[in-house]
Every structure is written in structure tokens, then in C-alpha cells.
Chain A
């Protein structure tokens, strides 16, 4: 069993190697077979291992496999060691399973592309890196995966590299996540200095003994790791790259920028929960960042017109929920939301991709419309996803996970009513913009002619994901309704249980409020965009609303802010010093000697008399020394 672990990342890696080395000479069918096949095989192995894991839990609740010693010096060693525990299992399952579905979808979606092999090679490499990230036994290997997914994200955002905007988006994504990564690296250094190890199980056992709760060192470590997570998971203030990252192909957005990579921050915090628990400041910061992000991004999503940007902002917002859950100490709830979110957001992106492709690469939702009857499969699956995103009560997976988070935001140990209030406002906004999206895209008049309709390879993954978006929530019910908690039982083999604080209102009230708010959001969307659009027209006429809309549309102006504060000064700094100010130093020396040369060279004028006079003066001088010296 342990030996199978290495196969999971190795298969996509093999796919990457084959495709990148020989891909240009292979026919598309074989490329598709290798690309999708390797990930599917990895998914099958994962399911097999997962079954084993559930049936007969291994000792220590983890499978481990040591591949080889990576590096070792005096007191530091890191191995290429894999580890599969409950948390990893959830992530690996999502990565391989959703990944496989997205790969299958891509075989059809990308069929006309020139660089078919490059696409699948990059996707396979991504899956491999992401698997290494979550399966790493030590933080260095995790950092390898962490940077690896960053690279693949860069490659795939800039997949259509001939458009400069795409390349710029890819660069932006890399730069901003790199800032987070650097902070995380510093966190690792500090962690190593304190504990002398970067092995995850050792950290888990040693940290509580080594650190006082709330000590400044552990706070710094946790905050630095959090910064890494913020970069990767597009949390405030490092969120600006994700909307631009939508320049990549839709399957990429689905896999990397919705389901897996952007949740790496969630994984990191969950993985390092011991460290975070030791630092109340970091926990509060996590929760606060999650809360602020979910609200800010939700507001931005309301104003977008590009279908993928709406989904991108909603992704940021949903990850904000996960951070909020982790921050208040509701570990399993956060992971559960990741679990359901992976399904429905992947579904939404894939469905959006299908819509975009059918409408000749039209991204603007206001030029879509009336697709309900013409693309029924896409419509119904999109509806399932949208329902989950809006967290429609009882019938969608999103409800079960989000409801938990809302409840814990108040009642968990670190929760407080303010967080709950923000979260519930976010829920309202989510429901609203989801409804807006649905109505504008699928109802109303058709505005763009439909081209090629999606084929089987695209619709079947959509349907599978749609089913999962509904049923995935049923494995974990609220305690007061049905006593079923398969998911939290599983992840709590690794993560601590969620502790509640004393004296909070009964859970049912929260559920009712949440359900009511969701329905209110849906209703608001229905009224504004379907039933009574004149209200909207009135708003558009008022300058205050319009400027608010523009503010939201620009993502609260973060891009402009960073542009003025960082980008322009940086460009200025590099531009004024292009020719290296230190060069003046040695140019100065050279010029000085040249000037001196010019001064003195008049003495070398070729005149014999002049030279003899020089000699004469020399003799006079020497004799003068004899006389007076």
C-alpha cells in the first residue's frame, strides 16, 4: 500500500515527460490518451488507497513512503518522502478525481489548439506538483510542490502566449504569489531555526512543547505562513492576480484557479494547524482576512461583466469563507467547504467554458442570454453548480458546508458576531450575484449566435460534477438535523475537533437566518434582473450608484493602488539606473586618467630640445639636492 503512494504523482509526471519530450510528433488522440489517462489512473489509485484507508486505518493514521534522501547537512535533512493521511487523502482525491474529469473535458475543449501536447504536458505537470504539495512529508518538499504549481499556473495562464495581455496576466500571477512564497520561505527559515526540523509530523509534536502559546516567534511563523497562503489563495491584499488569471483556458481556470491550487493556502494552514493554534493573533488574522476578503471579493463579483471574472471573484470570496472557518478554529468545516467548492466551482468554470466556446469566445454575460433551451445540458449542470454556490438550502452541497461555516463563525472558540455578520452579508451577496449570472446568461433574449455545441467528452464530466455538487454535501449534515458526519470524522483523524464557546443562540436559528438570507439574495437578483429591470435602470442613472459600481468593477481599486505604490516606483527606479550608477565610479577613474594624460602628453611633443631641457632640469634638481639637501 505504501509503495503505491509514489505512483500517484509519478503517473502525471511520466505523462508530462512523455508529452514534453515527444509531444510534437504524436497524434492528438495519443496525446489526449496520455494526458487524461495518466491523471485518471492516478485517480483510480487514489480511490483504491482511499478505500483501504477508510476500511483499515494504518498505524498513525498515515501511509508514508520514503523515496530518497534529498539533501542532508549537519542538522538538516529533507527527503523526497510522501505521506498520506486523512487531510492529504481529501486533497489528493479532489486533485486526481476532479483533475481527471477536467482532463477529459479538455481533450474535447482544446481539440483545435495547435499546442495540444504542451497543454496536456503542463496540466500533467501541474497535477504532479499539486500532488507533491499535498503529499509532502516535509515543508521543503511541500515548498517544491508549492512553487511547482506556481510555475504551471504561470505556464497555463500564459498558454496563449502570443497575446501580450495573457503573458502579462501570467507574470502578474507569478509575481504576486511569489511575494507570498517568499514570506512563506522566511517562515520556514524561522521555523527551522526554532525547531531544527521541517518534517511535518515532528513539527506537530515538537511545536507545542517548544513554544509558549502566543509567543512572538510562533506568531511570526504563523503569520509568515499565512502570508504564503494568502498569496497562493488570492486573499486580500494579494488577491489581484486571480481575476486576471482567467486569461488561461477555461479548464485551467477550473482546475488550477478554482478547485486545487488556489486552495493550497487552506491546505497549508490546516496542515500547520498546531502552529496556528499556538498563536491567537495569527488565528484572528486568518479569520479577519477571510472575512474581509469574502466581502470585498463578493462585492466585486456583483459588478463584473466577464463570466469568468465573476467566477474568479466568487472563488476568492469562497476561499475567504474557508480562511474564515480555519481562523475561527472550525478546521473540518473549512476543509469541507473546500471539498464541495472544488466540485461546484470546477463545474461552473467548465460549464462557463462550454458556453464561451459555443458563443465564439464571447466572455461578456450581457451579450449572452437565452441559452436555457438551446444548451439544456449546460444549463442544468450550471444551475446545479450555481445552486451550490448560492448555497440553496438542503438541495445543494454548498449549503451544508457554508452553513457550518456561518454557524461556527459565531459559535466556535475564536468566533464572534462580527465575523458572522460579515459572513452572512457575504452569503447574501453570493446568492445575489449567482442569480444575476444565471438569469443574464440563460434567460432573456439570445444575443449571440451559437456555434458548435459541446460534445460528449465535455458534457459527461459536467454531469458527473453536477451530481456531485448536489450530493457531496449529504455526507456531512448539521448536527441538529441528521446525525451524519462522515467527512468530519475522516478529517479529524488529523485535524483537531472544533471547539465551541459557551452561551450562543441555538443552531437552528442560524440555519434559518442563513436560509432566509440566501433566498432573499436570490429573490433580489430575480427582481432586479428579471422581473423589474427598471429599478436597475434607475440605479444606473444615479451617479453615486454608478461610481460604486465602477469601484466594485475595478475590484476596489487594488490594481490601481499597487500600480501607484509599487509598480510605477519600481519601473522608475530601474529605469533611472539602467546604465548602472557604479559605472560612473570607474568611468570617473578612466576619465581622470585620460584628462591627466592629456595634460601631461603636451610634454611628449617629440621635440628633442624639450626632452634635453627636461634632463637638464632633472640634473639641476639633483645637484640642487646635493647643495641644499
Chain B
């Protein structure tokens, strides 16, 4: 099993590196699928087949597909790739990468310092997970339901075509400026006026 784990870990890391270095979104997404599948293999090697399957179905399936849809809808192609290419220069990525490496070093140091050696492998089947999920975590499941609901409604609401709205406080401020003599300069008022965007 260890062989499987190390192999899939290597694939996962390599694929992820590819993800974050691609210029074209669609390439990155394809590497992401590879990365997710490799992680699913790691799950399997850790004795968690249920989540391994879920990883494939949901991450590599649903979420990636969503993203691909969006990429297609927005028609992100060579133009975006060009933009990214111009952007991704060493002076841009070097600093953050070094910082991230420092973080990684710290984490690894901490992990190794508190290391407790090998642990025995315990297989946890989906039944156990299900009992726990609908037993002690039932409230959390409910809340997750709410979250998904809110996600759906939010996505539907945000994704709608609509005009820009002005908050009612800002509207009231405009009314009051007509009544009283304002001390602020008139230029300020122009900024608060609504600029309707027409697609």
C-alpha cells in the first residue's frame, strides 16, 4: 500500500504544479482532474474508499465540469493565456513562492518534530461513516443542507442579469441634499449618483 501512496502522492503533486503553472484555463482544469484522481488514490491507500469515490464523483466530476462550463461560456481562450503569460514573470511569482516555501518548511518542521512514528492502518467503511454522519453529526448535516441551499439560491440570484441598485441610505442622502445647503463640494455628489451599466 505504501507504494501506492507514494506513487499517487507524487502524481498529485506533479499534477498540481502543472495546474498552477498553465496559461490556458482548460489545460489547468485537465491537470486538476488528474490531481483529484491521484488524491482519490491516496484516500484509497489510507483505507477510505467511500471518500475516494466521492472525490472522483464530486470533485473530478461535478465541480470540474462546472468550471469547464464557465470557461466555455466566458470563452476564455488564447487571449486569457496571453494575458497570463505576460503576467507570470519571476518578479511576480518569486516572492509569494518563497514565502509559501517558508510556510511549507515551517509546517514540515512542526510535523516532523511532533512525529509519533508509524500508525497501524484501520479500514473505515462507508457504514461507519454513515452512522457517524447521521448520528452525532446530524445537526451539521442539516446545516450543510442549508449551506447548499444558500449556495444554490445565491448562485441563481447573483448570476441573474440585472441593473445596479443604489442603497436606500444613499438615495436618502440625495434627497436631503436638496433640502439643506451642503457644505461638501458638489463634485462629491456626482460620485454617488447611480451609473447604470448597460451590457
Contacts and interface: CB of A to CB of B under 8 A. Distances in A.
A449 interface: no
A627 interface: yes
A105 to B, nearest CB: 56
A613 B100 CA distance: 9
Contact of A623 (B99, B100, B103): B103
A627 B96 contact: no
A297 to B, nearest CB: 58
Contacts of A626: 106, 110
A624 B107 CA distance: 10
Contacts of A624: 106
Contacts of B109: 627
Residues of B in contact with A, size category: 10 to 19
Interface string B94-125: 00100110110011011001000000000000
A626 B111 CA distance: 11
A394 interface: no
A617 B103 CA distance: 9
A54 interface: no
Contacts of B107: 623
A159 to B, nearest CB: 41
A36 B104 CA distance: 105
B97 to A, nearest CB: 11
A613 B102 CA distance: 13
A584 interface: no
B110 A609 contact: no
A619 interface: yes
A204 interface: no
A623 B113 CA distance: 13
Interface string A594-629: 000000000000000100010011011001101100
Nearest to A624: B106
Contacts of A623: 103, 106-107, 110
B89 to A, nearest CB: 14
A613 B106 contact: no
Nearest to B96: A613
A620 B96 contact: no
A626 B102 CA distance: 14
Contacts of B100: 616
B103 A616 contact: yes
A617 B98 CA distance: 11
B107 to A, nearest CB: 7
B1 to A, nearest CB: 31
A627 B99 contact: no
B96 A609 contact: yes
Contacts of B102: 620
A619 B96 CA distance: 13
A609 B93 CA distance: 11
Contacts of B96: 609, 613, 616
19 contacts: A613-B96, A613-B99, A616-B96, A616-B100, A616-B103, A617-B99, A620-B99, A620-B102, A620-B103, A620-B106, A623-B103, A623-B106, A623-B110, A624-B106, A626-B106, A626-B110, A627-B106, A627-B109, A627-B110
Interface of A: 609, 613, 616-617, 619-620, 623-624, 626-627
